[in-house]
Amino acid sequence: MTSYRITLMTEALLPETEAIDKVLFPQDFWTEKSFLSSMKEHHAYCIVSKSDSKESVAGYVVFSSVFDEGELLHIGVSKEFQKKGLAGRMLSFMNEFGNTNKIKKWFLEVRRSNDPAVALYKKFGFKAVGTRKNYYKTPTGREDALIMVKETAC
């Protein structure tokens, strides 16, 4: 059984993280520069989950918090490590951060067609509250984003 460590993203991990993102989101992947920009923001947190067996990046999550609100900005799990509960572990980490830092409300946007992600977010208490029309690029045009919100007990 593979075990994982959740740790802060470092600049040394940016090429590997971008490569994973490019496979997962070919139309609108984050570049090393995108991740680095978030890493330098004082209110943003870039976290990676590393596989102990391979010492490689298995997944990553980027989120921000301002006062009592948080936003999930980006999340991805390498295809090799999908369907193993890793995205859920990273969301749990984000929730723990939120509880510690008194985050009252979390926001995120997700492709309307991304049923597995929508189901995962619902499992973590997010509810769809709106739509952003034509938000994401697709090979044939644009796709709507669902806006999802989670209110916490903090």
Catalytic residues: 109, 121
Chain center to CA of 83: 15
Cα dihedral: 30, 36, 41, 47 (round 10): 80
Torsion angle in degrees (nearest 10) through CA of 59, 62, 65, 70: -70
